[in-house]
Amino acid sequence: MERLHQRLTSAEAALASFGQIAGLKEPSDIERDAAIQRCIYQRL
């Protein structure tokens, strides 16, 4: 059950990262790539 809680916490953090980038009208390639990398890193 603890692992499920960890995964949900990680998913919430990843969603928050994408929420930040979604708020930008036209994110640069670097901003977009950084949001993707952050999501991948948070899943580890």
What confidence tens digit (pLDDT) does each residue in 6-41 have? Answer: 888 888 887 887 788 888 889 899 988 888 887 777
**Looking at residue 29, what is its pLDDT?**
92
Q: Global pTM?
A: 0.60
Domain holding 18, by residue range, is: 2-43
Confidence of residue 1 (pLDDT cuts 50, 70, 90): confident
CA distance 28 to 4: 34
Q: What letter would DSSP give residue 26?
A: S
21's tokens: 């980038």
Q: Is the pLDDT of residue 44 over 60?
A: no
CA distance 30 to 21: 11
